[in-house]
Structures are given as C-alpha cells and as structure tokens.
C-alpha cells in the first residue's frame, strides 16, 4: 500500500529535475544492451553507458535497452548522450509514474507499467518501463532484468515478421504490444483464481474467502491502473501527426489500443464478478446460519414445553392427586408425544423442516 | 470465465500479424458459400477458398460466407484473394475481439459478436462474426455454421424486400440487423428467466436463487459486452462519409443503431431488476428468519420462567411448608397460567404474535 | 417484463420495412378523425383511411389522428397518402420503440411514449404515440383511443389560446406538451404511493413493503425510460434549423424541454427516496429483531442459572446436609432473588432493558 | 413529497401560456416596492401594479420587487407593462420551476430557488424567486415577503459598496449572490445537525437515527436541486456576450459561480457523510447485538449441561448406587465447577468474554 | 464539519468585495518576507506591508510572502500596492475557497489548499494558500507560518537547480509543486493508517474499526477536495497562451499536473480499499457471530432433549414401572449417550463442528 507514495514523498522539497532513484532499492549491476538492425543484418552487444550512443546511425534502427535504473549516474549519462530533458530523466528514475506519453521536440517519451506476479506471495506488482522513441532509435529502461522483451529480440535476430523491415516507431510499438499482451497473461491467472474462488464460495464457503476477495479486488485495481491510462496515450498517439510515427505503424497502434480496451473491459468484468461474489458469499453464509437457527428453534421449541411438563410432575407437593392415578404416567407420555407431533406438523407447514 | 483471455495470452510474444486461430478448437470442415445477385437474378454455390474470388463482378453484388475459421490456411487464402490487411486476418482468426469497425482504404472491416444459447447448460456464449464490406462484395466469417443468416439468404433467393435492388452496403446492413435482432430473441429468454426468478423469490425463496441471480447477471453482462460497442460502430459509420455506404442505406443503419440502444437499455433494465432481486431475496429470507426467531423467543420466554418455578418446588428441602398445604398444587398451577397469560398479552402488544 | 422484447423478436429475419404490428393485439375498429382549422374557422369529422388526405390544404392546418394501429393495412394506406418512408411505417406499427425524432426530407417523425395506469392492477404501462409533422399537417397515431388529446381538441374547437393562430409545428408542440404534462399526473400518483409507503415503513413495517418497493422502482424506471429520451429529441429539435419549426414555436419547445427535465429529476428523487426506504425498512426490521433478541437474552440469562440451582437441590443424593437445615429453603430463595437482582442491574447498566 | 408535482398536474390540458398560480395558496396582500437609484441619490416607495412602470427612466436603475405571486392578475399587469412573454409570466406563476435562465430578445429571465427552514417542523422548503433583468431595470418576484434582500436594500440606501455605481446587471448579480450566500447559512444548520447525528450514532445509537438520516438525506437533495442548476445558468451567462451584462459584472458572476460550486460540493460531502453514518449506525447496532448474543451463549452454554447433570441425579430410579455414596454430593459439585471452569477458559480463549 | 461553512455564512448580506477575514481566528503577528533574486545574486529581508512593493524591479524576480492573513488591513495594503482586484482580496481573506485560478488582466490569481496534520488529534486540516503571479513578481499568502516553502527558499539562497535562472512563473510553479508534493507526504501517513487498519480488521476486529474507517474516509475526501480542482487549474493554465507563463515553465506545469492526477488516483484507491474494509469487517464480525451461534446451537440441541429425558424420570408418579427395574439407570444413561453421539455425528455431517 505504502510503496507508490512513501518514496515519492522523500523527494518533497528537492528542486524538480533532481535525479534521485525512487523505487525498490536494488544492487544488481545495470546492464546495457545495444541492438542495431536493418532489413539485411543486425548486431547485438552489451556495452557501457558511455559508449551506447556509438551504435547510432550504423544501422537503420538502434535499440538500447537499460536493465536497472537504480544507478542514476548511468541513467544520467545515457540521457545526456541522447539529449533527454531533465524532467524525462527524473521520470525515468522515479518508478511510480502513471503511464503517460510526453511529446518533446525531438523525441516521444512513454512511461508504461508492466504488471507481473511477484515470486514470493504471488501478488501482482507493476514494474515501470520507460521508452524513448527517437527518429532512428529506441531507448528503453526497465527496473529489473526481465524476459518480456525476449520474443522481440528473437524476432529481430531471426528476422521474423515485419520488424526488421520497419523503423524505430514499429519497434516502440512492438515493445508496447509485448507489455499489453503480458496483461492478458496476468488476466488469465486472475481469471483462474476468480473461477476457483467462485467454486469455493458456492461449494464450501469459509471466512478466508473474504480476504481473497479483498486481495483480488486490489490486484484488479492495480492491473487496471497500469493499463487504463495507456488507452489515452495510444488514442493521443494515433491522433498525433508526428513525423516520428509512420502511417503504417499507426494501424498497428490502433490494434494495441483495441487490446488495451479489451484488457480493461475484462478487468471490469472480473471486478463485477468478484464484487458479486461477496454478495453471494454473504448470502450463502446467511443461509447456513438460518439453517442452524432453524434447527435450534425446532429442538428448543419442541423440548422446552415438554421439559416444563416433566418439571410440573416432578414437584414435591403432597397433594397432587394425579400422581397416584394408575395410568397417569402413560397418559402423560401420550400427551407429550401428542404435543410434539402437533408441533412437528406445525413446523413442517411453516417449512422449517 | 477464462476463455476470453486464456488463448489470447498464448499469442503473447508472437509478431503481430501472425495468423493463429484463437478460439474454441473445432474440427468441422470449413464451408464457403458464394452468392451472386443483382435485381434480375442470383446464383448460389459452394466453393473452395481458391475459387471464391472468381464470382466477383459477375453479378452486381457478391456475398462470400465462410463458416468456420479454425482452418487459418483457408482464412489466409480468402484474405489474400481480396487484399485484406494482415491485421484484419489476425482479427478474423482471433475470436475474442471486441465489436469494432476498422476503415481500411478499400474496405470496411466489422467485428460483431452474436450471442447464442449453448446447447449444453443453456448458458449464453458469443460467437464472433467478421464482415468485410467492399465496393461490390461482402465477405463474412462465422465461427460455426449458423442459421441466423438463413432468412437473408431466403430474401435474396425469393427477391423479398429491397435486398436485390440494393448494393453490398445494404447486404452488410442486413447481416448486422440480423445479429442485433437476434439480441432481442436472447433478451426474450432472459426476460422469461428473470420473471420466473422474480416469482420464485417472492413465493418460495431458496438458496439456489442466489446462484441463479449471479449467473443471470453474468449473462446480461456478456450480452451487453456483445452489443454495446456496436453503438459506437454504427454512430461512426453514419457520420462517416465513405463512398462504400450509400445515403439510402445510412437511413437503415440509423434504424439498427436505434435497435442497438433498445437492446442495451433493456439489458440495463434487466440488470437493475436482477440486482434488486438480490435485495428482495435477502429481505424475504431475513423476514422468515425473524419469524423463526420470534417463535423461539415466545416459546422460550414463556416456559423458561415456568420451568424454573417447577424446579423450585421440585427441590428436596425438608422444611418447605407450602409443600404440605392442601391447595398449594392448584394455586401454583393457577399462578403459572397467570404468568403465561400475562406474557402472551405482553407479546401480543409488542406484535410478536 | 417480456413485452418490450417478446414480440420484437418475432420479427427477427423479416426484411426491414416489412409492416407487421408489434404490440398488444387489439380488436377495436381503427378510428380516424380529421381536424382542419385556421384562425377563422375549423371543421372536424371522422373519415376512412382512403379519404384522409382530402382534407389537406382546405385549411391552414390539418390534424389527422389515427386511434389504433393494429390494422397495419390502414397505417400503410395513410402512410402512402402522405409519402412516409417504409422505415417510418415500420416504426409506427412496432409499439416498443424508444422515443426519438427522425428527420426525413419532407417531414419530422416523432416517437413518444405516454405512460398511463392500467385499469387492472393499477400498474404503469406506456403507450406509443407517433407524430408526423409536415408543412401544413400533423398525423398522429395512438395505440388505443385515449383522452389525453381531448383538451387540445377542445382548445381548437373553442379557439382558446394561440393554437388556431399558429401552424402545424405549434400543434405538434401542443401534443408533446400534453404527453409530458401527463407525466406530472403519473408522478403525482407515484408520489402519493411513495409517501404512504414511507409512512408504512416507519410505522408498521411488514414484509409486503419489500414487494411494493420493488414494484415502485420498476414503475419509476418505466416512467424514466418513457420521458428521458425526449430530452435529447427536444434539444436536437431546438438546435435544428428546419423550416418546419417556426422561431416562436421553438420558444415553446424549450418550455417542454424544461418540463421533461423536471419530470426526470423528480423521478430520480423518487428513486433515491424509494431506494433509501429499503435501507430504512431493513434497519427498522433489524431493530425490532434486536428488541426480540434482547428480551430472549434477558429472560434466558436470568432463569437458566436459577433453574440450575433449583436442579441442584432437586438431586436425590442421600447425603446433602443442607437439605435438612431449617432455614435452607428461605436462604436459597433469598440467594436466588439476589442473583436475579444483580443480573437485572447488570442488564440495566448495559442498557439491555 | 407531492407538492412539486401535485399542482403542476392540475394544469395538464390547459393551453400553454395560461396564467394559473401553481403553489402554496396564500392570502396576504401582494406588495410591490419600487427602488430607483443612481450614484447620487435614490428613492423608494410602495406602489400599485398599474403604476410600477412609471418609475422607469427617472433614475439610472429601477428595481421593482413583487412580494407574492398568488394574485396572478397583478403578475399579469406587471408583465404586460414590461413586455414580458406569456411563457415568462406562466413560469413566474408556477412556483415549482427548476432554476434556469431564458434569454428573450430584450430581457433575461432567471428562475432561482431559495431554500429556507419552515417555521413549523424546521424542515427545508424552497421558495421560487424570479428575476427579470432589463437594460435599466430589474423586476423580482418572491412567493412571500422575505428578508433575504434586506441587506441589499440597506446597501442601496446607504450607498455601501459598488451597488449605486453599477447598473441593473450588478443589481441582478447582487440578488443572486444573496440567494447563494443564503445557501451557506442553510448548510451551516445542516452541518450542525449532521455533526450531532454523528455523535448520537457513535455514542448512543437509537432507532430514531434512521429516520433522521432519511430526513437529512432528503433535505440535502432538496438543497442540491435548488442550487445545482444555477451552476449551468451562471456558466452560460458568463459565456454569453449579451449587452445586458457588462464586463465588470461578469467578473462578479464568476465569483457567484465559484460559491455555487462550493455549496454543491459541501452538500455532496454531507451526503457522503450521512450515507456513511447509516453504515456506521448499522454496524454499531450489529456490534451491540453481537455482545448481547455472546452473553446469552456463554450463560446458556455454561448452565444447560450442568442443569442436565443435576437432572440426571434428580431421577427417581431405585437402583442408582451413587446416590447413596457419602461424598457423592461434594464430588458432583466439584465436577460441575470443573466443567464450568473449563468452559470459561475455552470462552476466554475464543475471546467471547 | 461546520468550519467550511459556518463563517462564510457570517458574510451573507455584506456587499461583495468587503474585506472580512473568514477562517480560524489567530493572533500571531503577520510576517512579510521579501526575496529578490536574479541569476547572479539575491537579497532577503523582512518588511512592513507599506514597503513591500519597494523591492520590485531591483532584481529580475521578487517574491513577497505574507504569513498570516487574519489582519485584513495588511492584506488590503499589499493588495493595493500591487493593484489587485477587490474580489481577489476578498478571496485571499476568505480561507475556505475551492482551489481555482483566475485570470485578471495583469496577473494570475491562484487559490491552493495545503492539507496538513493538526498537532492535536492528528486529523487533516487544509490551509489556504493564495499565489498572485505577476510579470516579475510572485506574492504568496499563507494562513500561518509554515515550513513547506523552506526548501524553495534554500534553493534560491544556494542557487540550486534552475530556480535562479528562471522567471516568476517558475517560482509560482515551484510553490505549487511544493504543495502537491506535500500531498504525497500526507498520503504516505494515510497509507500507513489504512494498512494498519487492514491488519486490525483481519486479525482482531473491534468496533473502534468502524469509527476509524469513517474518519479515514472523511480525511481522504478532504485531501481529494484540496487536490482535485488543481487538476483543472493546471490543465487550463497549460492550454492558456498567456505571456505570464513561458514555454519552458509550461513543461514543468505538465509535470505537476501528472503528480496531481497521481495523488487523486492514489486517494481513490485508498477510498476503494477503505470502503472495502467495511465490508471485510462486517463479514469478519458476522463470521465470528456465526461461530458463537453454532456453539450455542450445538450445546443447546445436545442437552435440551437429554434434560427432558432426565425430567421424565424425575417425575413423581407412583406407577412408573421402569423406575424399579434393576438396570434401568445404566440403560437410560446408555440411551442418552447414544442420542448425544448420533447428534454429534449429524452435526459433524452438517459441518457445524
């Protein structure tokens, strides 16, 4: 709960543009990989921050990927090499941004959030991914080494699909597409959990269900918050008439836009379902409670009057003539059975049994 | 729950435009039927994918209907013959699209969702129907052989109504109209189920009602999700000034638009009613519970004090002078009856009886 | 519940424009009345469908009113005489339209819904009224003979107000105004029912209240669905720059628009109130339940321990020395009274009494 | 509940423009006061309807205030003298209008609603105030003599503030400002009632709270309905480029607009709080109920088994060897105490005590 | 609750533009500090109201900060020196304004609300901060001496960041940024309280939770009301084409805008969580209640019938043959154990144990 806020507030008072890493502290070495490619060939290597701009212009498209942003010195070096605005650098280093697009004169800056399941606890977290789209290059910044972009690397290496034939805008699109498609994978897992929760609620409701519903709701909100603002980003992008985005790529962006809406709509449907589950759970619990109460009522209502009768003839008064009657006992038992039977019929009429 | 997502995620990482069937796996043979017609005559035949473009230009309007899209090779062949964009082909093959319209230079591509009742379980599913509208032709793709377009075939064969006199745009309209009208049939069944649920809740509420309400809500959401985006599609279409849509057809599209809104509004009314039913159910159940509790209270409150009194004179103390009094027993019985009567009057005053 | 849908679906598959009556089947004879009037004079007669266009142009304004649309042949005849589009005729005959306005080249077509209380059951139904506004004539179609337009007839006959001085647009306005004003009458009755429900809930809540709340909610939704779309129709109409609407009539249309909003806002207030009533009812019921439970608890908690004590000395052990003590009995009674008193004080402290 | 509707419906069927008083019937004499003022001087007098236009043009600004509109003849006379449209007169006389602005060629007509606390019952009512703004004059109509405009009269008389230096538009603004500021006074009282309700709910919740919450909600809705539409009126007015509103007055109108929003936002906050109070009340009540139930359970669970044991040894079987044992009685008592102690420890573990 | 309204209403009736302090009464001396700075140097001193305009034009940018507005004479003096409109002065002195921007010809006037935790009680309050942005100067008004602007003073003194290189617009931006960043600090504390509340609800729910939820909700609403309108202010400001805002500052304003949205979204997430907590709390409580009831039912249902049996054989009838049977007592005990066992098995089957 605290994380999106707690560190941001540590910056309060610093002049804007100050480069401070805001996010989970990490100690891994920052890894910078450079991909250069055109339709004919590609090359791929790991490099130091100082050298990453060298690759530019050797190939039609250059993709620089920075894994790890906790070393702000490296982010700053890369940023300076590519002429990024101080606000962009600050946003890259503050990992709790809302997805957005900013249009600087010579580049587009995208902030995206990629939800993933934490190894421990299995709860959803969202990693911030920054993408800077320039004329012939894409620079991407990830919080941690991830594998969501591996299929794209593979497509570049093997020249699969259109990627090697298109420009940097198509690469940026491919990265965004990978992130949105990753949302479907998350949704699949959440869908399975919703479904199993649904079965639990209807079959054997136990109090843990309430916590799970609460947790699921929060994860759906987190997923929604990560994907929802993308909608606006992509809508603006396709309306935009920038030379950085070619017309053919715009068609593909429309496609990601559709996927974004689909993710958000499915999240909403899941939220509706999960909210509905709480109602179902509460009414299932209340039905069970009623059943319990009905049994108590029937037993108590049946035996309390009979016990009273037994108590009457258990009194020690000297002058209780019926005590001496010969058939008093069986008659009394008969009367008791009669009363019980009458009550049972009454209960059955009332549908309490 | 899983289906709209689970298969989509299998595609994560594939280059966009890769043709993979995403949907319920099927094994039926794909059937392609070709209708050519103009005002004077029509011809109708089944064909192979390779030959389906031959029909073009022989008649004023050509309608190619593909039943089954699980064989992506066939979809691809048809797509290539008509010059469809790779993204269109991908969308045709991915059966979990949201209804939408895409405007490519030489054709309109419509994704529609047709809700239908599954044979087993009777729950609603939604089939994806793709319609490609070109200058003189309509290509439609269905997931499975269906009968919703049969009346249109009949109208072409028998030259009923305006269909033979109009162009491909009118045919596309007729297909959409058939799908929206099908929504009314679904609504009718759901309306009957809502109505019988309503009777159940008010007459003999049992816990199964909660599940049925939950299920009905989900089906209404599914229906809404299938029809609601059509609204926007049709509004855009009528604003559009494309040469593919004639002015007279635009009037008819406005009519489908009105029907779409009517379906969605009725769905919303049903959702309101069904949500209200849960409240009604819960208060009916709680009323019954109260009745049960009232009876328990009356019986227990009546007999517990009397049983205590009986217990008093059931004690074995040696010096309890009243035990030897001659009329002690009837007096005690009288007191007990008096107490009971007082209580009953109190209960009646409190309206617990 | 079914009606708005069930019959509409019967049309699925028919070519659009097919004239089928969709609505409650009726058998009364269709009645056509023709009013011609100008500032100086008026004439009024009943006529056959074939002759109803004869009246045109004899007077400045002609008003043809068709009571009953179940005889589609008549609707068709009238439609043909006035050059109505097939879609208009279809909409006139399908009585489950949503209120709307359609602008055809030479006429405006209005669909309105007039809510009324059914004779049996007293529930609200909504009748569809179609109004066709042409240059010098208004054609109105009602489902059944009604009296809502009688005051307008009277105003024409007696030359009250401006109606005889104005054109056909003013007549159309007057008809709409009559329908919206009728909404106020409906609201008045619903308001009275809400008020009496409110008294019931607070004074003597009984389970029937839940049903009445549910019913009232549905009727308010129905009323809202009948009036709400009018808002948009009238807003569009006043923005419209059509020669059919004179500028002075536009002022009056703005007035109906205000009334429409007022009806809808009052409906919303009633819905808020009725929804709130369910909460009030549930908490009143729960308060009564608590009172019942408190009494049970007090009685049971008071007497169960005392009964146990009486049981102790009712045991038949041979060696129970206190049984022989002379003042054991009064001492025991004293102890019991003491315990009861202590408990009563405790209960009073806890505010359970 | 009925009032906003019941009388309006009485007009159904009358030709529009018919002048009928719709509102609480009153019998006080209608009072007309005329204020004429410019920067240098002012005069003030009471007059008859026939003479009220005489004051015009003698001073820079003339303000005619009509207290009481139940005498429609007077309203009509005043209206005719100033050339008001019949619809305006109708709106002035129908006291259940929604706040609105209407732009007639030569004047602006404002309907405002001023909420006030009724003397009896202390519930909120809303009085309709009509303001007609002309080039050099303002005509205002109130339902009853009120004191909300007194400070403005005082400002004119004593030449306080800018009022004598400005035109009729500033006077109209001052009247509106007085009405909106009056909303703050109402809010203050409602805020106090909310606060005391809050204390009641948390300290000593009793069932009357539910009624008070219900009543408070309705009054907040009434206040909101009176102020909310003003927002739109003022926004339109400031966008308007009419010669009736000077540029410097427009600045002041923006200020009233801000106040309007502030009133509405505070109303919304109060509504949130009051709605939340119902939840708090219900959970406080349910907590008390649980406490009651816990006590019942502990007592019953403790003594019911012990009473059973006492009952066992109270049976009259001849062969119950333990009855004759010398230490049976103390042993049995010991066992009972042991059972009770064990149970108490169990209850404490479960945190039921 | 009352504060935002109670004092505002005290002004009802005063002419607009009257300078009255509306807010918490204070007695500290008003402190005015003047900062003049350009890229090369800065000077800083405390001054009297009369002299504060002297600093203007000596340096590129002048910042006058007024701590305390309860002395309206001082506010008026400062206002007159800088040519502020009477409405601006009134707004500065009325401390319950909604955040807004007003564009006067020669200056922008911003009202901001800075939430802070009160020393006593720790509840959130919001202080009003007014900022007047002129060509070369910024005048800021705070209700009380605060430290939220200290880091900005430090940045000016030490020439950190861009602040000394930029104009007055950048200073105004820095002030707004400090206020929004302060919102993150508030959120952090509220987040911690939400988190600890969450733990409480799931681990040891006690009734105080309901009050805390209610309080937290209200504080979140207050925070939201303080920040939300800023969104619109900043959006308007960046759309505005005023010479007062330089293009490079506009970029920074977009950044504050993003932060504003982030604060509001986090507030919304917290509100969702807190609202959800009430549901969780209620169902946890209801689960505990059910557990209690189940134990009561099991004990009562087990022993009530057995006690009845013991009562039967405790009756004093003379002719009860079984009393004399030798093994009657052990047989009866056996039967009782059998009944109890059967019931326990039944309960276990029903999962009540």
Residue percentage of chain C with pLDDT more than 70: 95
The CA distance from E345 to E353, in Å, is: 9
User: What integer best gives the mean pLDDT of chain A?
Assistant: 86
C158-182 pLDDT, tens per residue? 888 888 999 999 999 999 999 998 8
Q: Taking CA atoms, what residue in A is nearest to E252?
A: A87
The answer to whether the Cβ–Cβ distance between A187 and B324 falls below 8 Å is no
User: Are both C98 and C232 inside the same structural domain?
Assistant: yes
| Residues D135/D244, Cβ–Cβ less than 8 Å | yes
Residue percentage of chain E with pLDDT more than 90: 34
Q: Does any CB of chain A come closer than 8 Å to the CB of residue B11?
A: yes
pLDDT of residue E303: 93
The CA distance from B114 to B94, in Å, is: 15
Residue percentage of chain C with pLDDT more than 90: 34
pLDDT of residue C9: 54
The CA distance from C128 to C110, in Å, is: 10
DSSP code, position A66 = E
pLDDT of residue C10: 55
Q: Which of B151, B297, B317 faces C328 most closely, judged by CB atoms?
A: B317
Measured in angstroms, the CA of A65 and the nearest CA of chain E are apart by 25
The CA distance from C89 to C75, in Å, is: 7
Collapsing DSSP to helix, strand or coil, A264 comes out as: helix
User: Are both B248 and B266 inside the same structural domain?
Assistant: yes
Find the mean pLDDT for residues E78-93.
90
Q: Which of E161, E192, E315 faces A17 most closely, judged by CB atoms?
A: E161
The answer to whether the Cβ–Cβ distance between E11 and D181 falls below 8 Å is yes
The residue with greater pLDDT, B23 or A256, is A256
pTM: 0.81
CATH number for the domain that contains residue B324: 1.20.58
Hey, of C109, C310, C331, C334, which one would you mutate to test binding to chain B, going by the most B CBs within 10 A of its CB? Answer: C310
Chain E hits for D307, Cβ within 8 Å: 303, 307
- Cβ neighbours of residue E195 closer than 8 Å, sequence gap 6 or more: A1, A2
B56-91 pLDDT, tens per residue? 778 889 999 999 888 888 999 999 899 999 889 989
The CA distance from D114 to D94, in Å, is: 15
The CA distance from D137 to E158, in Å, is: 61
Q: Taking CA atoms, what residue in E is nearest to A98?
A: E262
Q: Taking CA atoms, what residue in E is nearest to D311?
A: E310
Angle between helices B150-158 and B168-203 (to 10 degrees): 140
The CA distance from E335 to E337, in Å, is: 5
Q: Which of B192, B255, B283 faces C87 most closely, judged by CB atoms?
A: B255
Q: Domain range spanning residue B327?
A: 292-349
Q: Which of D195, D293, D315 faces E314 most closely, judged by CB atoms?
A: D315
User: Are both C44 and C140 inside the same structural domain?
Assistant: yes
pLDDT of residue C13: 58
Q: Does any CB of chain A come closer than 8 Å to the CB of residue E269?
A: yes
A164-214 pLDDT, tens per residue? 999 999 999 999 999 998 888 899 889 999 988 888 887 777 778 888 888
pLDDT of residue E308: 94
User: Are both E166 and E311 inside the same structural domain?
Assistant: no
The answer to whether the Cβ–Cβ distance between B6 and A188 falls below 8 Å is yes
C334-350 pLDDT, tens per residue? 999 999 999 999 988 88
User: Are both E45 and E73 inside the same structural domain?
Assistant: yes
User: Are both E333 and E266 inside the same structural domain?
Assistant: no
| Residues D168/D118, Cβ–Cβ less than 8 Å | no
User: Are both A52 and A129 inside the same structural domain?
Assistant: yes
A213-228 pLDDT, tens per residue? 888 998 999 899 999 9
Q: Taking CA atoms, what residue in D is nearest to C315?
A: D314
CATH number for the domain that contains residue B198: 3.30.460.20
B210-222 pLDDT, tens per residue? 888 888 998 999 8
User: Are both C68 and C125 inside the same structural domain?
Assistant: yes
Of E283, E304, E335, the domain-final residue: E283
The CA distance from A163 to B15, in Å, is: 8
Single out the residue of A86, A66, A65, A84 nearest to residue A74, CA to CA.
Answer: A66
Q: Which of A14, A214, A296 faces E297 most closely, judged by CB atoms?
A: A296
Collapsing DSSP to helix, strand or coil, B312 comes out as: helix
User: Are both E197 and E307 inside the same structural domain?
Assistant: no
Single out the residue of C163, C133, C138 nearest to residue C240, CA to CA.
Answer: C133
User: Are both B260 and B300 inside the same structural domain?
Assistant: no
How, if at all, do strands B61-67 and E108-117 pair? unpaired
Find the mean pLDDT for residues B88-97.
89
pLDDT of residue D3: 43
Q: Residue B108 pairs with which residues in a beta bridge?
A: B103, B133
pLDDT of residue B17: 60
Burial zone of E113 (CB within 10 Å; 0-12 exposed, 13-18 middle, 19+ buried): buried
Pure H helices in chain A: 3-10, 72-82, 86-93, 150-158, 168-203, 208-239, 247-312, 328-349
pLDDT of residue B70: 87
Measured in angstroms, the CA of C13 and the nearest CA of chain D are apart by 42
Hey, of D248, D312, D332, which one would you mutate to test binding to chain E, going by the most E CBs within 10 A of its CB? Answer: D312
The answer to whether the Cβ–Cβ distance between C315 and B316 falls below 8 Å is yes
What kind and span of H or E run contains B325? none
pLDDT of residue A331: 94
Angle between helices D247-312 and E208-239 (to 10 degrees): 160
The answer to whether the Cβ–Cβ distance between B178 and C12 falls below 8 Å is yes
pLDDT at E242 over 90: no
Strand order in C108-117's β-sheet?
A: C42-47, C31-37, C61-67, C137-142, C124-133, C108-117, C100-103
Q: Does any CB of chain A come closer than 8 Å to the CB of residue B343?
A: no
Q: Does any CB of chain E come closer than 8 Å to the CB of residue A296?
A: yes
Secondary structure (H, E, C), chain E: CCHHHHHHHHCCCCCCCCCCCECCCCCCCCEEEEEEECCCCEEEEEECHHHCCCCCCCCCEEEEEEECCCCHHHHHHHHHHHCCCHHHHHHHHECCCCCEEEECCCCEEEEEEEEEECCCCCCEEEEEEEEEECCCEEEEEECCCCCCCHHHHHHHHHCCCCHHHCCHHHHHHHHHHHHHHHHHHHHHHHHHHHHHHHHHHHHCCCCHHHHHHHHHHHHHHHHHHHHHHHHHHHHHHHHCCCCCCCHHHHHHHHHHHHHHHHHHHHHHHHHHHHHHHHHHHHHHHHHHHHHHHHHHHHHHHHHHHHHHHHHHCCCCCCCCHHHHCCCHHHHHHHHHHHHHHHHHHHHHHCCCC
Chain E hits for A102, Cβ within 8 Å: 254
pLDDT at C324 over 60: yes
Measured in angstroms, the CA of D8 and the nearest CA of chain C are apart by 7
The CA distance from B127 to B142, in Å, is: 8
The residue with greater pLDDT, E123 or C36, is C36
How many A×E Cβ pairs under 8 Å? 170
pLDDT of residue B11: 60
Measured in angstroms, the CA of A158 and the nearest CA of chain E are apart by 40
Hey, of B169, B188, B351, which one would you mutate to test binding to chain C, going by the most C CBs within 10 A of its CB? Answer: B188
pLDDT of residue B141: 94
pLDDT of residue D6: 46
Of E283, E313, E340, the domain-final residue: E283
Q: Which of E5, E102, E323 faces D188 most closely, judged by CB atoms?
A: E5
The CA distance from D38 to D166, in Å, is: 8
C-alpha pair distances (Å), A133 with each of A61, B41, C77: 11, 57, 66
Q: Which of B174, B184, B317 faces C329 most closely, judged by CB atoms?
A: B317
Q: Taking CA atoms, what residue in D is nearest to E13?
A: D151
User: What integer best gives the mean pLDDT of chain E?
Assistant: 86
- Cβ neighbours of residue D78 closer than 8 Å, sequence gap 6 or more: D32, D49, D52, D64, D66, D84, D139
Q: Which of A163, A272, A315 faces B313 most closely, judged by CB atoms?
A: A315
| Residues A136/A106, Cβ–Cβ less than 8 Å | no
pLDDT at A7 over 70: no
Find the mean pLDDT for residues E253-281.
90
E135-182 pLDDT, tens per residue? 889 999 998 887 789 889 999 998 888 889 999 999 999 999 999 988
Chain D hits for C280, Cβ within 8 Å: 210-211, 214
The answer to whether the Cβ–Cβ distance between A266 and B5 falls below 8 Å is yes
B131-186 pLDDT, tens per residue? 999 988 999 999 888 778 988 999 999 888 888 999 999 999 999 999 998 888 89
Of B254, B283, B312, the domain-final residue: B283
Chain D hits for E87, Cβ within 8 Å: 251-252, 255
Find the mean pLDDT for residues A152-167.
89
Q: Residue A37 pairs with which residues in a beta bridge?
A: A42, A61
pLDDT at C14 over 80: no
User: Are both C182 and C330 inside the same structural domain?
Assistant: no
B264-282 pLDDT, tens per residue? 999 999 998 898 888 888 8
Q: Which of D12, D97, D310 faces C315 most closely, judged by CB atoms?
A: D310
Q: Does any CB of chain D come closer than 8 Å to the CB of residue C8?
A: no
Q: What is the separation, in whole angstroms, between the first and last Cα of chain A? A: 48
Q: Does any CB of chain C come closer than 8 Å to the CB of residue B347?
A: no
Residue numbers in chain D where pLDDT is lower than 50: 1-7
The answer to whether the Cβ–Cβ distance between B191 and C6 falls below 8 Å is yes
User: Are both C226 and C169 inside the same structural domain?
Assistant: yes
Main-chain dihedrals φ then ψ at residue A95, nearest 5 degrees: -85, 20
Find the mean pLDDT for residues E15-23.
72
Structure tokens at C65: 């009113």
pLDDT of residue E4: 44
Q: Which of residues 116-175 of E touch A (CB under 8 A)?
A: 150-152, 155, 160-163, 174
As for how many domains chain D has, the answer is: 2
Chain D hits for C192, Cβ within 8 Å: 1-2
Q: Does any CB of chain A come closer than 8 Å to the CB of residue E315?
A: yes
Q: Taking CA atoms, what residue in A is nearest to B13?
A: A151
Measured in angstroms, the CA of C309 and the nearest CA of chain D are apart by 8
Q: Does any CB of chain D come closer than 8 Å to the CB of residue E289?
A: yes
């Amino acid at each position: 709960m605290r994380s999106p806020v707690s560190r941001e507030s540590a910056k309060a008072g610093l002049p804007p543009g100050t480069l401070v890493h805001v996010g989970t502290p990490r100690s891994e070495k920052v890894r910078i990989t450079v991909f250069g490619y055109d339709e004919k060939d590609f090359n791929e290597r790991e490099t130091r921050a100082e050298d990453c701009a060298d690759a530019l212009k050797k190939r039609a498209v250059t993709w620089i990927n920075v894994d790890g942003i906790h070393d702000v010195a490296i982010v700053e070096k890369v940023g300076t090499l590519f002429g990024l605005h101080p606000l962009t650098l600050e946003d890259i280093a503050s990992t709790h941004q809302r997805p957005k697009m900013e249009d600087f004169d010579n580049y587009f800056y995208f902030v995206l959030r990629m939800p993933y399941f934490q190894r421990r606890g299995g709860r959803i977290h969202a990693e911030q991914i920054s993408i800077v789209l320039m004329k012939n290059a894409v620079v991407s910044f990830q919080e941690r080494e991830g594998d969501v972009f591996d299929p794209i690397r593979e497509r570049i290496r093997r020249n699969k699909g259109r990627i090697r034939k298109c420009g940097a805008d198509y690469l940026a699109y491919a990265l965004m597409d990978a992130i949105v498609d990753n949302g479907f994978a998350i949704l699949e897992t959440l869908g399975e959990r919703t479904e199993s929760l649904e079965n639990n609620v209807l079959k054997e409701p136990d109090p843990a269900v309430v916590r799970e519903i609460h947790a699921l709701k929060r994860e759906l909100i987190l997923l929604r918050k990560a994907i929802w603002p993308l909608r606006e980003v992509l809508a603006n992008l396709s309306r935009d008439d920038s030379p950085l985005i070619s017309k053919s790529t715009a068609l593909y962006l429309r496609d990601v836009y559709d996927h974004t809406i689909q993710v958000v709509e499915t999240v909403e449907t899941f939220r509706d379902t999960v909210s509905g589950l709480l109602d179902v759970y509460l009414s299932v619990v209340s039905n069970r409670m009623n059943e319990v109460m009905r049994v108590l009522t029937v037993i108590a209502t049946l035996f309390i009057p009979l016990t009273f009768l037994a108590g009457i003839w258990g009194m020690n008064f000297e002058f209780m003539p019926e005590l001496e009657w010969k058939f008093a006992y069986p008659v009394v038992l008969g009367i008791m059975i009669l009363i019980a039977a009458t009550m049972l019929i009454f209960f059955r009429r009332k549908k309490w049994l």
